[in-house]
Structure 1
Amino acid sequence: MDLTHPYFPDGLNMLNDDFDLSGPVETVAGPSGSGATPTSRTKSKRLTSDVWQCFDVVEMTLSDGTVGPKAKCKFCPKNYTTSKGGTGFYNMKLAESGCPPAQSLTPDDWYVAKIFVEFLKVFYNATVTLSEVYYPTSSQAIHQIVEMSDMLNTYREDDMLGSTIVAMETKFKKYWSELHFLYALGVIVDPRIKLAGLEYLFEFIGNKLSVDYSDQITDIRNKLFEVFSIYERRFGGVDTEPSPELDTQPLPTSWSILKRRKKDKSASSSSSTTQFAASSSAELNRFLEAQFDTDENTENFDLLLWWKTYSYRYLVLSHLARDILVIPVSTVSSEQAFSMSGRIIEPRRNCLTPEMVEVLICVRD
């Protein structure tokens, strides 16, 4: 069962509310015979043993020709008279027939399942979000890494998941101890975050995973200026209009972290501002110094629409943002990335010409 399936958590909660897991109670027929009265034939019997999950109590014809209760195996055609034995008898018959042993879900099992659902749901949401194709995903990668690193940190000392988390975190840090420059640019061109917010998110991830990102932040800052200078030479022009007041709306991830950063009076950006002014053009400097907003009371912020609206004020930066935001985080489908059954894409598709690939994409869409 896929615990990350969106329907499973809801079903899990419903089952916990609706069912008493202390043990089922069924009314079964007692021994029958010529001297048995209707009252003596039926009695309440609490079927608390796990073995009863492998049997159905049904009315069948007995060896003496009368109709009475029998325990019918769910895995084979055999059936047994209910008065012949108890739990040990039925377990023995299951072993003799090669049928699977009975296993029940205890309240502890349900608790484990709920914990796993809560833990894996974060990774499921990240997979779904970053696999989309009709909105920019390059600006979402850092947000999802924040969520996953926070979840790993939360359950690292858990008695139940601790050993599993250690193995997961080791592999997670192997991939994300160095964050791709594309992911950083996707966040920087978000007018609500920019470089100052990115630095705080890197600090948050580093604290959760015990990773030092300070060198990467410096490298990202230098690369940002280099990339912008290339775009400035190609699309450059003098832009002296004042920065617009940002009427922004947040995405539903990681914004509480940025909001705390905004309220933190000890966070100073004076050193960063000085470096911006000394090493970047007026346009990039103005964009990076504008105050970003993380108001969580509004929704549906359209990042592409924002850049389309304010492109006339950020002539060069809007071209950079456009090129960055159209790049998907991954071009590999989640079905292929997580499949253990081999390649999903047929080998013949590896030799398709660019023209044929374009045709296939257009036909599918």
Structure 2
Amino acid sequence: MVITGHWIDTQWRLQKRVLNSVHVPPPRLGIAIADAIYKCMLDWGIETKIYTVSVDNASNNDTALRCLKDTFSRNKCLLAKEKLFHVRYCAHILNLMVQDGLSEIQEIIHDIRASVEFVNKIEGRRLIFGEIVYQLRLPEKVLIYDYKTRWNSTYEMLACALKFHEVFPRFKDRESSYTFCPSTEDWEKVKKVCSILGVFWNATHIISGSDYLTANLYLNEVCRIKMLLDSKANDEDNFIQLMVWKMKMKFDKYWGECNLMMSIAAILDPRLKIRVINYCFPLIYPLYEVQANINKVRQALYDLYVEYVEVHVSSSRDSGPSCQIVTNDPVSKSSSSSSSTMTHVTGMCEFLSHIATVEPVQPEKNELDIYFEDGLLTAMEKSSLDIVNLDALKWWKSTTKYKILPKMAADILAIPVSTVVFEATFSARTRVLDSYRASLAPETVEMLMCAGDWCRKLHGVKKRDKAFFDYDHALVGVYVGLLSVDGLLVVVAFTQLLKKCQGSEMC
């Protein structure tokens, strides 16, 4: 289990780091997961700073989060009355929806996957396939494989194969052993399915970013998916209707109830504000639930703001200004008048301290009301900003109008809504559990995964260069040997390697 931390640093930059790679032995009960997460927080000394925990939708994770909520609530007061503590990954929900939909064309997918494997398996077949492609003057050249466990990879395989749908029948005429060529009707079904999956694919790519905010993009993508499903629910093709019906069932299961996190995060985007739920909710929820859900989000947002105000006032009071009075009145120096002077000064200090802490955070209108009344950022005249690609975090950093809302926005917008970040940790190398690593101890894997993530971030390395594949594997034995002597030496090994390969974008 990889535990990754996400936060906004003091320079208002979105940060994420692998905090630990924990071996959780079977049967991986929820309480064991909760204990592993909490131990990791204790090791880092951040058990009182946890705002949310984001996981996928496994039942043991639900149990783990219930245990953690109780534990963390004893250490600190979880904001929003603990309503934002458990975040379910949007990308995982999309995956569940798509898998239900793809079950309607499993036989077709099997034939296309087998066709791709059949063509690519032997060089002679690839040459025959390539000749047909050349004769038809098709721009595409290569068929791609898919990972059976990743629907987005399956979609890419189908979309690619669809471009060669005219080639496969001609290839069949030249290869007698090719017996699973999809029919014309099959390709029509694939075309319709890809038109639906394309929207899911785009949404997944948008919300799966790890180097930019995703929480504020969540609601709009969910709304777009709901509009697509509604438009296809009455499709003339019965198999599309059945496919969409299954996906809508899954949609209602996870998003049928108002999601406070995705709504509040969207509202804290200056391009959207409160109008985003006025637009999206009628498209997502039944009409009789729309207003109730809008009121629910507004109430939760104001309750959350009040909690931030209380925290701000408390911190201001704890670090309140000291009061010193300097006077030129010679009488104040006499011992006979010192008592009355001190009484007067103390009373004034109490009043000034009260004004300093209360007046800035309790204006006639609170910051939320002012934020909403200012209008959307898109409505501002002569704006030189790129509204479509606006970085909401930079906007909150630069604004000087608010004192409390920026802190609230930073905490909410830092929440990730995708599980791809964690999957990418295991995909950092082409072969994670190959013959070189299969016998590594859990502690060794933890050191390698954590050190690699922190060192790559330190040196700005993002992508792996295939040219360094063999060089990288040759050094694995060096890492393991160093770890057996001193675990800290692995950091030195990674750092020296990355310094040499900094220009190559090696990962």
Q: Is the 8 A contact 1:12 1:114 kept in 2?
A: no
User: 1:362 pairs with 410, 434, 454, which one?
Assistant: 454
Pick from 336, 354, 369 the counterpart of residue 285 of structure 1: 369
Paired residue type of 1:115:
K
1:161 is paired with a residue whose SS is helix
Query: Is 1:74 paired with 2:177?
Result: yes
* CA shift in 2, pair 1:165/1:181, >3 Å: same
Instruction: Report the identity percentage.
Output: 25
The residue that corresponds to 1:136 in the other structure is 213
Give the number of equivalent residue pairs. Answer: 242
Residue of 288, 294, 319 corresponding to 2:407: 319
Q: Which residue number in structure 2 is paired with residue 224 of structure 1? A: 301
RMSD (Å) for aligned C-alpha atoms: 4.1
Higher-Rg structure is: 1
Task: Name structure 2 gaps, 5 residues minimum.
Answer: 1-112, 114-145, 317-362, 380-384, 425-431, 458-507
Q: Quote the offset at 1:294 in angstroms.
A: 4.7
Q: CA deviation at 1:104?
A: 3.0
- Write out aligned runs for 1:65-214 (5 A): 74=177, 102-158=179-235, 159=237, 160-206=239-285, 212-214=289-291
Matched letter for residue 147 of structure 1: R
In structure 2, the CA distance between the partners of 1:294 and 1:120, relative to structure 1 (3 Å rule), is farther
Write out per-residue CA displacement over residues 316-337 of structure 1, whole angstroms, 9 at most, x where no aligned residue.
111111111111114565859x
The alpha carbon displacement at 1:154 in A equals 1.4
CA contact (8 A) 1:188 1:194 kept: yes
State the distance in 2 between where 1:349 and 1:306 align: 42
Whichever residue aligns with residue 259 of structure 2, its letter is H
Alignment of 1:4-23 (within 5 A): 4-5=152-153, 8=157, 11=160, 14-15=163-164, 19=166
Per-residue deviation at 1:126?
Answer: 2.2
Q: CA deviation at 1:356?
A: 10
TM-score (norm 1): 0.55
Partner amino acid, structure 1, of 2:203: A
Where structure 1 has 5 or more consecutive residues not aligned to the other structure, the ranges are 25-51, 57-72, 76-101, 238-278, 337-343
Going from structure 1 to structure 2, the CA distance change for 1:229 and 1:281 (only over 3 Å counts) comes to farther
Conserved 8 A contact 1:184-1:198 = yes
Structure 2 counterpart of 1:132, which letter?
G
Deviation at residue 144 of structure 1 after TM alignment: 1.3
Q: CA deviation at 1:172?
A: 1.2
Q: In the aligned structure 1, how far is the partner of 2:256 from the partner of 2:228? A: 16
Q: Alpha-carbon deviation of 1:128?
A: 2.3
Greater share of helix = 2
Does 1 or 2 have the higher relative contact order (CA < 8 Å, sep 6+)? 2
Contact 1:4 1:121 in 2 (8 A): no
**Whole-Å separation in 2 of the counterparts to 1:326 and 1:193:** 17
Find the counterpart in structure 2 of residue 306 from structure 1.
395
Cα distance in structure 2, aligned partners of 1:125 and 1:229: 37
**Alignment check: 8 A CA contact 1:155 1:165 kept:** yes
SS at match of 1:315: coil
